[in-house]
Amino acid sequence: MSGKQFFVDRYRQLGWEFNDFQPRQAIRINVINAKGKNLEERLQTLGFQLEKIPFLETGYWVRKAKVSVGATGEYLSGLYSIQEAAAQIPATLFTDLKGRTVLDACAAPGGKTVQLADLMGNTGVIVALDVKKRRLAALSNHLERCHVANVVVYHLDARHTSRLKLKFDMVLLDAPCSGNFATDSHWFERRTLNDVKRNAKLQRELLAEAVTCLSDDGEVVYSTCSLEPEENEANIDWAVKHLNLQTEKVDCYGQEGLTEFFGSRLDVSVKRSRRIWPGGTQGFFVCKLKKREEKQ
Amino acid sequence: MKVITKFACQLGAEFALNADLTVNKDDRYFLLNKALLKVAQKDFYYAGVYLGKVKNGKFFPSFNLLKVLAEGEANKVVVKKKAAWLFICGRDIFRKGILVTHGSRKKGSHTLVLNEFDECLGFGRIVCSLDGTAKDEVIVKNISDIGDFLRREN
Protein backbone atom coordinates (compact mmCIF):
# COMPACT_ATOMS: atom_id res chain seq x y z
CA MET A 1 0.00 0.00 0.00
CA SER A 2 2.89 2.34 -0.77
CA GLY A 3 5.55 3.09 -3.33
CA LYS A 4 5.56 4.96 -6.59
CA GLN A 5 3.91 2.24 -8.68
CA PHE A 6 1.10 1.81 -6.16
CA PHE A 7 0.18 5.50 -6.30
CA VAL A 8 0.75 5.87 -10.03
CA ASP A 9 -1.66 2.96 -10.59
CA ARG A 10 -4.20 4.65 -8.37
CA TYR A 11 -3.93 7.88 -10.36
CA ARG A 12 -4.40 5.92 -13.60
CA GLN A 13 -7.56 4.37 -12.18
CA LEU A 14 -8.75 7.89 -11.36
CA GLY A 15 -8.20 8.92 -14.97
CA TRP A 16 -4.82 10.65 -14.84
CA GLU A 17 -1.56 9.48 -16.39
CA PHE A 18 1.41 10.23 -14.19
CA ASN A 19 4.08 12.61 -15.44
CA ASP A 20 6.91 13.88 -13.32
CA PHE A 21 6.08 17.56 -13.14
CA GLN A 22 7.82 20.43 -11.36
CA PRO A 23 5.49 23.33 -10.55
CA ARG A 24 6.44 26.74 -11.86
CA GLN A 25 7.37 29.44 -9.44
CA ALA A 26 4.53 31.90 -8.96
CA ILE A 27 4.01 35.19 -7.20
CA ARG A 28 0.90 37.03 -6.07
CA ILE A 29 0.68 40.79 -6.03
CA ASN A 30 -0.41 42.23 -2.70
CA VAL A 31 -2.83 44.71 -4.21
CA ILE A 32 -3.11 47.06 -1.23
CA ASN A 33 0.64 47.41 -0.80
CA ALA A 34 1.45 47.55 -4.51
CA LYS A 35 -1.20 50.10 -5.46
CA GLY A 36 0.34 52.83 -7.63
CA LYS A 37 3.83 51.31 -7.39
CA ASN A 38 4.25 50.08 -10.98
CA LEU A 39 5.35 46.77 -9.58
CA GLU A 40 5.40 44.84 -12.85
CA GLU A 41 7.65 47.46 -14.40
CA ARG A 42 9.94 47.46 -11.37
CA LEU A 43 10.26 43.69 -11.46
CA GLN A 44 11.02 43.77 -15.18
CA THR A 45 13.78 46.27 -14.45
CA LEU A 46 15.21 43.74 -11.99
CA GLY A 47 15.30 41.13 -14.75
CA PHE A 48 12.07 39.28 -14.02
CA GLN A 49 10.12 37.79 -16.90
CA LEU A 50 6.55 37.43 -15.71
CA GLU A 51 3.63 35.65 -17.27
CA LYS A 52 0.11 36.40 -16.11
CA ILE A 53 -1.60 33.31 -14.73
CA PRO A 54 -4.79 33.18 -16.81
CA PHE A 55 -7.07 31.91 -14.05
CA LEU A 56 -5.92 34.30 -11.31
CA GLU A 57 -6.44 38.04 -11.04
CA THR A 58 -3.24 38.85 -9.20
CA GLY A 59 -1.02 35.87 -9.92
CA TYR A 60 2.03 35.66 -12.18
CA TRP A 61 4.36 32.87 -13.12
CA VAL A 62 8.02 33.79 -12.95
CA ARG A 63 9.47 32.61 -16.26
CA LYS A 64 12.91 33.96 -15.53
CA ALA A 65 14.52 36.00 -12.77
CA LYS A 66 18.05 37.30 -12.55
CA VAL A 67 17.84 37.61 -8.78
CA SER A 68 16.22 35.49 -6.09
CA VAL A 69 12.45 36.10 -6.13
CA GLY A 70 12.41 36.07 -2.34
CA ALA A 71 15.22 38.55 -1.83
CA THR A 72 14.20 41.73 -3.64
CA GLY A 73 13.38 45.01 -1.92
CA GLU A 74 9.90 44.71 -3.42
CA TYR A 75 9.35 41.32 -1.80
CA LEU A 76 10.78 42.45 1.54
CA SER A 77 8.49 45.52 1.41
CA GLY A 78 5.46 43.25 1.05
CA LEU A 79 4.53 44.30 -2.48
CA TYR A 80 4.22 40.67 -3.55
CA SER A 81 4.29 37.22 -2.05
CA ILE A 82 5.64 33.95 -3.35
CA GLN A 83 2.66 31.65 -3.60
CA GLU A 84 2.17 28.61 -5.81
CA ALA A 85 -0.54 29.17 -8.43
CA ALA A 86 -3.07 26.56 -7.28
CA ALA A 87 -2.61 27.66 -3.67
CA GLN A 88 -3.82 31.11 -4.69
CA ILE A 89 -7.25 29.75 -5.64
CA PRO A 90 -9.01 28.96 -2.31
CA ALA A 91 -9.07 32.49 -0.85
CA THR A 92 -10.62 33.84 -4.06
CA LEU A 93 -13.67 31.59 -3.80
CA PHE A 94 -15.43 33.40 -0.94
CA THR A 95 -18.36 35.55 -1.97
CA ASP A 96 -17.58 38.87 -0.30
CA LEU A 97 -14.87 39.10 2.29
CA LYS A 98 -14.87 42.82 3.13
CA GLY A 99 -15.67 43.51 6.77
CA ARG A 100 -16.26 39.83 7.59
CA THR A 101 -15.09 37.65 10.44
CA VAL A 102 -12.95 34.96 8.85
CA LEU A 103 -11.27 31.87 10.27
CA ASP A 104 -8.05 30.66 8.70
CA ALA A 105 -8.00 27.33 10.47
CA CYS A 106 -4.55 25.98 9.60
CA ALA A 107 -2.83 29.23 8.75
CA ALA A 108 0.96 28.88 8.93
CA PRO A 109 3.11 29.86 7.13
CA GLY A 110 0.52 32.48 6.22
CA GLY A 111 0.45 32.83 2.43
CA LYS A 112 -3.32 32.47 2.32
CA THR A 113 -3.79 34.58 5.46
CA VAL A 114 -2.02 37.49 3.80
CA GLN A 115 -4.04 36.91 0.64
CA LEU A 116 -7.29 36.96 2.64
CA ALA A 117 -6.25 40.21 4.34
CA ASP A 118 -5.49 41.72 0.94
CA LEU A 119 -8.86 40.62 -0.46
CA MET A 120 -10.52 42.06 2.66
CA GLY A 121 -8.72 45.37 2.22
CA ASN A 122 -7.43 44.94 5.78
CA THR A 123 -11.05 45.30 7.03
CA GLY A 124 -12.94 42.90 9.28
CA VAL A 125 -11.12 40.28 11.31
CA ILE A 126 -9.15 37.18 10.44
CA VAL A 127 -8.56 34.68 13.20
CA ALA A 128 -5.56 32.60 12.18
CA LEU A 129 -4.74 29.37 13.98
CA ASP A 130 -1.95 26.88 13.86
CA VAL A 131 -1.19 23.93 16.02
CA LYS A 132 2.60 24.10 15.59
CA LYS A 133 4.14 26.90 17.60
CA ARG A 134 7.40 27.01 15.64
CA ARG A 135 5.35 27.75 12.47
CA LEU A 136 3.75 30.78 14.11
CA ALA A 137 7.02 32.70 13.83
CA ALA A 138 6.94 32.31 10.03
CA LEU A 139 3.30 33.39 10.03
CA SER A 140 4.08 36.46 12.14
CA ASN A 141 7.00 37.44 9.90
CA HIS A 142 4.77 37.12 6.87
CA LEU A 143 2.11 39.36 8.47
CA GLU A 144 4.70 41.97 9.45
CA ARG A 145 6.41 41.95 6.06
CA CYS A 146 3.08 42.50 4.28
CA HIS A 147 1.85 45.10 6.80
CA VAL A 148 -1.30 43.14 7.58
CA ALA A 149 -3.43 44.80 10.25
CA ASN A 150 -6.58 42.69 10.68
CA VAL A 151 -5.33 39.35 11.95
CA VAL A 152 -5.23 37.80 15.38
CA VAL A 153 -3.13 34.66 15.66
CA TYR A 154 -3.54 31.88 18.20
CA HIS A 155 -1.47 28.83 18.94
CA LEU A 156 -4.43 26.49 18.79
CA ASP A 157 -5.42 23.20 17.23
CA ALA A 158 -8.29 24.07 14.89
CA ARG A 159 -10.18 21.07 16.28
CA HIS A 160 -10.67 23.23 19.37
CA THR A 161 -11.78 26.44 17.63
CA SER A 162 -15.01 26.47 19.70
CA ARG A 163 -12.91 27.50 22.70
CA LEU A 164 -12.69 30.96 21.16
CA LYS A 165 -16.51 31.27 21.41
CA LEU A 166 -16.73 33.03 18.05
CA LYS A 167 -18.94 32.57 15.01
CA PHE A 168 -17.33 33.00 11.61
CA ASP A 169 -18.80 34.26 8.35
CA MET A 170 -16.14 32.46 6.36
CA VAL A 171 -13.84 29.56 7.17
CA LEU A 172 -10.79 28.70 5.12
CA LEU A 173 -9.79 25.16 5.92
CA ASP A 174 -6.58 24.50 4.04
CA ALA A 175 -6.19 21.21 5.80
CA PRO A 176 -2.95 19.45 6.69
CA CYS A 177 -2.64 16.69 4.11
CA SER A 178 -0.37 14.12 2.51
CA GLY A 179 0.84 16.65 -0.05
CA ASN A 180 1.81 15.56 -3.53
CA PHE A 181 4.86 14.45 -5.46
CA ALA A 182 5.06 17.69 -7.47
CA THR A 183 6.26 19.64 -4.44
CA ASP A 184 8.16 16.86 -2.69
CA SER A 185 10.71 14.87 -4.66
CA HIS A 186 10.71 12.08 -2.03
CA TRP A 187 6.94 11.92 -1.76
CA PHE A 188 6.55 8.38 -3.10
CA GLU A 189 9.13 7.02 -0.68
CA ARG A 190 7.57 8.74 2.29
CA ARG A 191 3.87 8.15 1.88
CA THR A 192 1.69 5.13 2.47
CA LEU A 193 -2.04 4.63 2.19
CA ASN A 194 -2.16 4.55 5.99
CA ASP A 195 -0.84 8.14 6.09
CA VAL A 196 -3.58 9.13 3.69
CA LYS A 197 -6.24 7.49 5.86
CA ARG A 198 -4.86 9.08 9.02
CA ASN A 199 -4.90 12.51 7.40
CA ALA A 200 -8.44 11.97 6.09
CA LYS A 201 -9.61 11.28 9.64
CA LEU A 202 -7.99 14.45 10.95
CA GLN A 203 -9.46 16.46 8.07
CA ARG A 204 -12.97 15.25 8.95
CA GLU A 205 -12.46 16.35 12.55
CA LEU A 206 -11.34 19.76 11.32
CA LEU A 207 -14.33 20.04 8.98
CA ALA A 208 -16.73 19.12 11.77
CA GLU A 209 -15.27 21.78 14.07
CA ALA A 210 -15.31 24.38 11.29
CA VAL A 211 -19.04 23.82 10.86
CA THR A 212 -19.63 24.19 14.61
CA CYS A 213 -18.12 27.68 14.45
CA LEU A 214 -19.76 28.72 11.19
CA SER A 215 -22.59 31.26 11.12
CA ASP A 216 -25.81 30.03 9.51
CA ASP A 217 -25.22 31.68 6.17
CA GLY A 218 -21.46 31.26 6.33
CA GLU A 219 -19.13 29.69 3.79
CA VAL A 220 -16.40 27.10 4.15
CA VAL A 221 -13.66 26.66 1.59
CA TYR A 222 -11.92 23.33 2.03
CA SER A 223 -8.64 22.68 0.26
CA THR A 224 -5.70 20.32 0.27
CA CYS A 225 -2.65 19.82 -1.90
CA SER A 226 -3.24 16.07 -1.86
CA LEU A 227 -4.21 14.04 -4.91
CA GLU A 228 -5.73 11.26 -2.87
CA PRO A 229 -9.55 11.06 -3.10
CA GLU A 230 -9.82 9.89 0.53
CA GLU A 231 -8.59 13.35 1.61
CA ASN A 232 -10.66 15.20 -0.93
CA GLU A 233 -13.89 14.04 -2.58
CA ALA A 234 -14.55 11.37 0.08
CA ASN A 235 -14.33 14.02 2.81
CA ILE A 236 -16.68 16.32 0.94
CA ASP A 237 -19.11 13.43 0.48
CA TRP A 238 -18.87 12.76 4.22
CA ALA A 239 -19.45 16.45 5.04
CA VAL A 240 -22.52 16.56 2.79
CA LYS A 241 -23.94 13.45 4.44
CA HIS A 242 -22.97 14.08 8.06
CA LEU A 243 -22.46 17.82 8.59
CA ASN A 244 -25.57 19.17 6.87
CA LEU A 245 -23.42 20.96 4.30
CA GLN A 246 -24.03 21.50 0.62
CA THR A 247 -21.43 22.07 -2.03
CA GLU A 248 -21.47 25.35 -3.94
CA LYS A 249 -20.71 25.90 -7.57
CA VAL A 250 -17.37 27.59 -8.13
CA ASP A 251 -15.96 29.11 -11.26
CA CYS A 252 -12.27 28.31 -11.11
CA TYR A 253 -9.44 26.37 -12.69
CA GLY A 254 -9.55 22.58 -12.40
CA GLN A 255 -11.60 19.54 -13.26
CA GLU A 256 -14.89 18.50 -11.70
CA GLY A 257 -14.50 16.49 -8.54
CA LEU A 258 -14.74 12.72 -8.77
CA THR A 259 -18.10 11.17 -7.87
CA GLU A 260 -16.83 7.62 -8.00
CA PHE A 261 -13.48 6.13 -7.05
CA PHE A 262 -12.20 2.61 -6.46
CA GLY A 263 -15.76 1.28 -6.44
CA SER A 264 -17.21 3.91 -4.03
CA ARG A 265 -20.06 6.09 -5.27
CA LEU A 266 -20.23 9.59 -3.83
CA ASP A 267 -22.99 12.20 -3.67
CA VAL A 268 -23.42 13.68 -7.11
CA SER A 269 -22.94 17.22 -5.73
CA VAL A 270 -19.29 16.41 -4.98
CA LYS A 271 -18.57 17.10 -8.63
CA ARG A 272 -18.90 20.81 -7.81
CA SER A 273 -15.51 20.61 -6.15
CA ARG A 274 -12.36 21.17 -8.20
CA ARG A 275 -9.54 18.66 -8.64
CA ILE A 276 -6.28 19.92 -10.10
CA TRP A 277 -3.84 17.31 -11.33
CA PRO A 278 -0.19 18.42 -11.54
CA GLY A 279 0.37 20.19 -14.84
CA GLY A 280 0.31 23.96 -14.99
CA THR A 281 0.35 23.90 -11.19
CA GLN A 282 0.99 21.49 -8.35
CA GLY A 283 -1.73 18.99 -7.46
CA PHE A 284 -4.61 20.57 -5.56
CA PHE A 285 -8.20 20.15 -4.48
CA VAL A 286 -10.73 22.76 -3.45
CA CYS A 287 -14.41 22.83 -2.59
CA LYS A 288 -16.76 25.52 -1.37
CA LEU A 289 -19.49 24.54 1.09
CA LYS A 290 -22.40 26.15 2.90
CA LYS A 291 -24.83 24.97 5.51
CA ARG A 292 -27.75 23.25 3.80
CA GLU A 293 -30.73 25.51 3.33
CA GLU A 294 -33.71 24.05 5.18
CA LYS A 295 -36.68 23.46 2.88
CA GLN A 296 -39.90 25.23 3.99
CA MET B 1 3.80 52.71 25.41
CA LYS B 2 6.38 55.29 26.44
CA VAL B 3 9.18 53.33 24.78
CA ILE B 4 7.42 53.66 21.44
CA THR B 5 6.78 57.39 21.61
CA LYS B 6 10.33 57.87 22.86
CA PHE B 7 11.68 55.91 19.92
CA ALA B 8 9.55 57.95 17.48
CA CYS B 9 10.95 61.08 19.08
CA GLN B 10 14.52 59.91 18.38
CA LEU B 11 13.57 59.83 14.71
CA GLY B 12 12.16 63.34 14.88
CA ALA B 13 8.63 61.98 14.54
CA GLU B 14 5.51 62.41 16.61
CA PHE B 15 3.52 59.28 17.18
CA ALA B 16 0.26 59.52 19.08
CA LEU B 17 -0.52 56.05 20.32
CA ASN B 18 -4.03 55.19 21.47
CA ALA B 19 -3.37 53.48 24.79
CA ASP B 20 -6.79 51.77 24.72
CA LEU B 21 -5.90 49.99 21.51
CA THR B 22 -2.28 49.17 22.33
CA VAL B 23 -1.55 45.84 23.93
CA ASN B 24 1.70 44.77 25.58
CA LYS B 25 2.06 41.03 25.34
CA ASP B 26 5.25 39.59 26.85
CA ASP B 27 7.12 42.82 26.03
CA ARG B 28 5.85 42.79 22.44
CA TYR B 29 3.60 45.70 21.50
CA PHE B 30 0.59 45.44 19.20
CA LEU B 31 -1.80 48.08 17.92
CA LEU B 32 -5.29 46.69 17.48
CA ASN B 33 -8.39 48.20 15.94
CA LYS B 34 -11.75 48.07 17.71
CA ALA B 35 -12.95 45.02 15.80
CA LEU B 36 -9.81 43.09 16.71
CA LEU B 37 -9.95 44.20 20.31
CA LYS B 38 -13.40 42.62 20.55
CA VAL B 39 -12.21 39.18 19.46
CA ALA B 40 -8.62 39.13 20.71
CA GLN B 41 -8.25 37.08 23.85
CA LYS B 42 -5.38 37.44 26.26
CA ASP B 43 -3.58 34.34 25.01
CA PHE B 44 -3.13 35.57 21.44
CA TYR B 45 0.24 35.08 19.78
CA TYR B 46 0.10 38.04 17.39
CA ALA B 47 -2.58 40.64 16.69
CA GLY B 48 -3.17 43.70 14.52
CA VAL B 49 -0.12 45.79 13.78
CA TYR B 50 3.05 44.61 15.49
CA LEU B 51 4.91 47.68 16.75
CA GLY B 52 8.04 46.22 18.25
CA LYS B 53 9.50 44.55 21.30
CA VAL B 54 11.53 45.41 24.37
CA LYS B 55 14.50 43.17 25.03
CA ASN B 56 17.02 43.78 27.79
CA GLY B 57 15.47 47.18 28.35
CA LYS B 58 15.96 48.24 24.72
CA PHE B 59 13.18 48.88 22.22
CA PHE B 60 13.38 47.14 18.84
CA PRO B 61 10.87 48.66 16.42
CA SER B 62 8.97 46.60 13.88
CA PHE B 63 9.04 47.47 10.20
CA ASN B 64 5.34 48.29 10.49
CA LEU B 65 6.15 51.02 12.97
CA LEU B 66 8.99 52.35 10.81
CA LYS B 67 6.65 52.43 7.80
CA VAL B 68 4.05 54.41 9.74
CA LEU B 69 6.68 56.87 10.96
CA ALA B 70 8.05 57.25 7.44
CA GLU B 71 4.62 58.34 6.23
CA GLY B 72 4.75 61.44 8.43
CA GLU B 73 7.34 64.01 9.35
CA ALA B 74 10.56 62.38 10.51
CA ASN B 75 14.29 62.28 9.93
CA LYS B 76 14.71 60.54 6.60
CA VAL B 77 17.32 59.91 3.99
CA VAL B 78 16.20 58.84 0.53
CA VAL B 79 18.87 56.73 -1.11
CA LYS B 80 19.80 55.65 -4.63
CA LYS B 81 19.00 52.21 -6.01
CA LYS B 82 22.41 50.65 -5.34
CA ALA B 83 22.65 52.13 -1.87
CA ALA B 84 19.13 50.83 -1.14
CA TRP B 85 20.13 47.31 -2.15
CA LEU B 86 23.32 47.41 -0.08
CA PHE B 87 21.40 48.75 2.91
CA ILE B 88 18.95 45.83 2.70
CA CYS B 89 22.01 43.58 2.71
CA GLY B 90 23.00 45.07 6.05
CA ARG B 91 25.50 47.65 4.81
CA ASP B 92 25.85 51.30 5.79
CA ILE B 93 24.98 54.32 3.66
CA PHE B 94 27.71 56.38 2.02
CA ARG B 95 27.23 60.06 1.28
CA LYS B 96 27.32 59.38 -2.47
CA GLY B 97 24.31 57.06 -2.11
CA ILE B 98 22.03 59.75 -0.72
CA LEU B 99 19.46 61.49 -2.93
CA VAL B 100 17.51 63.64 -0.47
CA THR B 101 17.41 64.22 3.28
CA HIS B 102 14.59 65.38 5.54
CA GLY B 103 14.78 66.46 9.17
CA SER B 104 17.89 66.34 11.30
CA ARG B 105 21.28 66.24 9.57
CA LYS B 106 23.24 66.16 12.81
CA LYS B 107 25.72 63.51 13.83
CA GLY B 108 24.17 61.17 16.39
CA SER B 109 20.59 61.56 15.16
CA HIS B 110 18.60 58.53 14.13
CA THR B 111 17.11 58.54 10.64
CA LEU B 112 14.80 56.40 8.56
CA VAL B 113 16.20 55.10 5.28
CA LEU B 114 13.90 55.16 2.25
CA ASN B 115 14.36 54.00 -1.32
CA GLU B 116 13.60 56.15 -4.36
CA PHE B 117 9.96 54.99 -4.19
CA ASP B 118 9.61 56.33 -0.63
CA GLU B 119 9.43 52.83 0.82
CA CYS B 120 11.00 52.51 4.23
CA LEU B 121 13.91 50.07 4.25
CA GLY B 122 14.90 50.46 7.87
CA PHE B 123 16.72 52.96 10.01
CA GLY B 124 20.17 53.93 11.10
CA ARG B 125 22.26 56.47 12.98
CA ILE B 126 23.90 59.46 11.36
CA VAL B 127 27.60 59.02 12.14
CA CYS B 128 28.90 62.00 10.24
CA SER B 129 27.12 65.28 9.66
CA LEU B 130 25.10 65.19 6.45
CA ASP B 131 26.50 68.61 5.62
CA GLY B 132 30.02 67.28 5.02
CA THR B 133 31.50 66.89 1.54
CA ALA B 134 33.59 63.70 1.44
CA LYS B 135 31.72 61.33 -0.91
CA ASP B 136 33.26 58.05 0.28
CA GLU B 137 32.34 58.57 3.89
CA VAL B 138 29.90 56.38 5.80
CA ILE B 139 27.09 58.70 6.74
CA VAL B 140 24.38 56.44 8.11
CA LYS B 141 25.23 53.37 10.12
CA ASN B 142 22.74 50.59 9.56
CA ILE B 143 20.81 49.64 12.70
CA SER B 144 17.96 47.65 11.23
CA ASP B 145 16.80 46.87 7.69
CA ILE B 146 14.10 44.80 5.98
CA GLY B 147 16.67 42.20 4.93
CA ASP B 148 16.12 41.05 8.50
CA PHE B 149 13.08 39.10 7.25
CA LEU B 150 15.49 36.84 5.39
CA ARG B 151 17.99 36.63 8.23
CA ARG B 152 15.24 35.59 10.65
CA GLU B 153 14.50 32.55 8.51
CA ASN B 154 18.05 31.21 8.83
What class, spelled out in words, does domain B75-153 have in CATH?
mainly beta
Does residue A230 share a domain with residue A117?
A: yes
**A133-186 confidence digits (pLDDT tens):** 999 999 999 999 999 999 999 999 999 999 999 999 999 999 999 999 988 889
Of the candidates A136, A135, A102, the residue with the CA atom closest to the CA atom of residue A118: A102
Subunit contact A138:B153, Cβ cutoff 8 A = yes
Residues A268 and A150 in one domain: yes
Q: Please compute the mean of the pLDDT values over residues B5-30 and round it to a whole number.
A: 94
Which of B22, B25, B42, B46 to mutate to probe the A interface, most A CBs <10 Å? B46
Has residue A10 been placed in a domain?
no
Q: Is A225 tagged catalytic?
A: yes
Q: Are residues A179 and A249 in the same domain?
A: yes
Do A112 and A59 share a domain, yes or no? no
Is residue A46 a part of any domain in this protein? yes
Residues A43 and A96 occupy one common structural domain = no
User: Which residues in chain A have Cβ-Cβ distances shorter than 8 Å to B117?
Assistant: 37, 42
Whether residue A205 contacts residue A240, with contact meaning beta carbons closer than 8 Å, is answered with no
| Same domain, yes or no: A75 and A98 | no
In this structure, the answer to whether residues A72 and A203 fall within a common structural domain is no
* Residue B133 Cα, gap to closest chain A Cα (Å): 29
With respect to residue A181, please indicate whether it lies within any of the assigned structural domains. Answer: yes
Q: What is the pLDDT of residues A256-278, one digit of tens each?
A: 999 999 999 999 999 999 999 99
CATH number of the domain to which A132 belongs? 3.40.50.150
B-chain CB neighbours of A70 within 8 Å are: 150
Say if B129 is an interface residue toward chain A (CB within 8 Å): no
DSSP calls for chain A: -BSHHHHHHHHHHTT-------PPPEEEE-HHHHTTS-HHHHHHHTT-EEEE-TT-SSEEEEEE-SS-TTSSHHHHTTSEEE--TGGGSGGGGSS--TT-EEEETT-TT-HHHHHHHHHTTT-SEEEEEES-HHHHHHHHHHHHHTT--SEEEEE--GGGGGGG---EEEEEEE------GGG-TTHHHH-BHHHHHHHHHHHHHHHHHHHHTEEEEEEEEEEES---GGGTHHHHHHHHHHS-EEEE----SSEEPPSEETTEE--GGGGGSEEE-SSSS--EEEEEEEEPPPP-
Is A122 in the same domain as A42?
no
Q: What is the pLDDT of residues A171-212, one digit of tens each?
A: 999 999 999 998 888 999 999 999 999 999 999 999 999 999
Residue A11, domain member (yes or no) = no
Chain B residues lying within 8 Å of A101, measured CB to CB: 39
What is the rounded distance in angstroms from the CA atom of residue B144 to the CA atom of residue B154?
Answer: 17
Cis preceding-peptide flag for A109 (omega within 30 of 0): yes
Residues A69 and A101 in one domain: no
- One domain, residues A132 and A227: yes
Q: Does residue A236 fall inside a structural domain? A: yes
Contact call for B35 and A150, based on CB within 8 A: yes
CB contact under 8 A, A152 and B119: no
Phi-psi region of A195 (alpha: psi -120 to 50; beta: other; left: phi over 0): alpha
CATH number for A66: 3.30.70.1170
Whether residue A119 sits in one domain with residue A62 = no
Residues A127 and A137 in one domain: yes
Query: What are the tens digits of pLDDT across the range A87-107?
Result: 999 999 999 999 999 999 999
Searching chain A, which residue's CA lies closest to the CA of residue B153? Answer: A138
Residue A14 to residue B137: CA distance in whole angstroms: 67
Instruction: Delimit the domains of chain B by residue range.
Output: 2-68, 75-153
B87, closest residue in chain A (CA to CA): A73
| Pairwise CA distance, residues A276 & A88, whole Å | 13
Q: Confirm whether A77 is domain-assigned.
A: yes
Predicted model pTM: 0.96
Of A106, A177, A225, A287, the catalytic one is A225
User: Is residue A14 domain-resident?
Assistant: no
Close Cβ partners of B45 (under 8 Å, ≥ 6 residues apart): A136, A140, A153, A154, A155
Given B43, B46, B119, which is nearest A140 (Cβ)? B46
Q: How many domains is chain A partitioned into structurally?
A: 2
Question: Which pLDDT value is given to residue A296?
Answer: 53
Residue A295 has pLDDT above 70, yes or no: no
The boundaries of the domain holding residue A198 are 85-291
> Does residue A111 sit within a domain?
yes
Kindly determine whether residue A152 and residue B50, on different chains, have CB atoms separated by under 8 Å.
no
